[in-house]
Amino acid sequence: MIDNNIIAYMKEELAHTPRQFHRYMYDKVIWEDRMIGIVGPRGVGKSTMVKQYLLSTHQTNKALYVSADHSYFSTHSIVGLADEWVKEGGLLLVIDEIHKYAEWSRELKQVYDTHPNLKVIFTGSSILDIHKGSVDLSRRALMFQMQGLSFREFLEMYKGIRLPVYSLDEILEHLVDHPADFHPIPLFREYVERGYYPFSFQPGYEIRLQQVINQTIESDIPQYAGMNVATGRKLKQLLALLSRSAPYKPNMIKLCGEIRVSKNDLPNYLSYLEMSGMIGQLRDDTGGMRGLGKIEKVFVDNPNLMYALGGIATNTGNVRETFFYNQMRVNNEITSSKITDFRIGDYLFEVGGASKGKKQLGDSANGFVVRDDIEYGHAHIIPLWHFGLNY
């Protein structure tokens, strides 16, 4: 029989789950599949989304929600919980924060193979741990990766302003439409400072965001990579160094010297930071596949992290580039360009302020100037905030 503490925990969690707003990923997840994994950086709203799905099911009495860090699992296993739930007629098992359970991959595989009529949904706050253990589940679980709020989602969630999703081509064709009394510039400035995370307007936002950073750097990555405390400190030093100059053109020798690590270790450190949602790495298009090209620039993952790490000294020009890269990577393969800031397919983009010119674009018919601090665009000039409507 299922422990009453688990049932009470689920009811408490569901009672405090907001229902009004669904993240962009909600309609992308193939909820009908037998096993679904939702991964992404800490704090982007994965837990809320799976609880919203559970609440939407017609047979909530057949669904069970639990977090893998619940004290229940100090004396019980995931396999045992699944066995008991199936005996009671359960059809859906949702396990949050599954990376906090040591044998999660092996046990989920066993649950999948043993209970063909039980649907399992799991989330992981650390991309690193999920990828490390996903080998056993590669033929069983559909994996979905989730990022933080787009500018469009921020407007709807916090300001009650609903705008549709626009494709890249629609943005470039100036098809973005909005009410005449809508003035996006002050809202956009608010978003880049503290609008990327769904907890942005909860009490103690700054503390929460610092906890996301600290837990990722001090716990998630060292646990995944088998690092000692001293090596974990070097990761924090590396992130602080990058935050002062990102977007950063990698100079491996200089970086190695500043944090005192070997040239062989540094690429791994950057990869760990990228997978955990602390940085992004812009590559060229020589690899032929996403993620295989040469690294041309290193970004702090999103503007909110930039302000958290850099404070008032954060460079506005760097924030603009980071915003464009952060928002467009979700639905597009974005690479570096030899003549402009970014390339997406055949399109070239140069990002700047309201007076940014077309000089670097030359005569390119597919080149666009992306300007901050303007409400409307024309011809090959596109407002920067429009790119926050892509998801």
Ramachandran area for residue 389 (φ above 0: left; ψ -120 to 50: alpha; else beta) = alpha
Q: How confident is the model at residue 152 (pLDDT cuts 50, 70, 90)?
A: very high
Q: How confident is the model at residue 7 (pLDDT cuts 50, 70, 90)?
A: very high
The amino acid occupying position 86 is: V
Q: How confident is the model at residue 313 (pLDDT cuts 50, 70, 90)?
A: confident
Q: Is the pLDDT of residue 157 over 60?
A: yes
The H or E element containing residue 54 is helix 46-56
Q: How confident is the model at residue 252 (pLDDT cuts 50, 70, 90)?
A: confident
The string of DSSP codes covering 164-200 is: ----HHHHHTT-----TT--HHHHHHHHHHH-SSTTT
Lowest mean pLDDT among 14-18, 250-254, 327-331, 386-390: 250-254
* Distance, CA of 390 to CA of 158 (rounded, Å): 18
The residues near 42 (Cβ < 8 Å, ≥ 6 apart) are 125, 126, 212, 215, 216, 220, 277
**Mean pLDDT value across the chain:** 92
Q: Is the pLDDT of residue 180 over 90?
A: no
Q: Is the pLDDT of residue 179 over 70?
A: yes
- Rounded to two decimals, the pTM is 0.92
The string of DSSP codes covering 297-354 is: EEEESSHHHHHHHHGGG--HHHHHHHHHHHHHTTTS-EE--SSSSEEETTEEEEEE-T
Q: Describe the crossing of helices 266-275 and 252-259 by its angle, rounded to 10 degrees.
A: 90
Q: Describe the crossing of helices 252-259 and 229-245 by its angle, rounded to 10 degrees.
A: 130
At residue 76, the pLDDT reads 95
Query: What mean pLDDT is predicted for residues 234-257?
Result: 86
Query: What mean pLDDT is predicted for residues 267-291?
Result: 84
Q: Is the pLDDT of residue 135 over 90?
A: no
At residue 291, the pLDDT reads 55
Q: Which structure tokens are listed for 312?
A: 């008032």
At residue 17, the pLDDT reads 96
Q: How confident is the model at residue 228 (pLDDT cuts 50, 70, 90)?
A: confident
* Distance, CA of 27 to CA of 62 (rounded, Å): 22
Distances (CA, A) of 68 to 191, 231, 367: 32, 27, 49
- Taking 3-state DSSP, the helix, strand and coil percentages for the chain, each rounded to the nearest 5, stand at 45, 15, 40
At residue 365, the pLDDT reads 79
Q: Is the pLDDT of residue 203 over 70?
A: yes
Q: How confident is the model at residue 233 (pLDDT cuts 50, 70, 90)?
A: confident
Query: What mean pLDDT is predicted for residues 154-181?
Result: 96
Percent of the chain with pLDDT over 90: 73
Q: What are phi and psi of 37, to 5 degrees?
A: -115, 130
| DSSP SS3 for 248 | strand
Q: What is the pLDDT of residues 320-367, one digit of tens each?
A: 999 999 999 999 999 999 889 999 999 999 999 988 887 777 777 799
DSSP letter assigned to residue 220: I
The amino acid occupying position 191 is: Y
At residue 126, the pLDDT reads 76
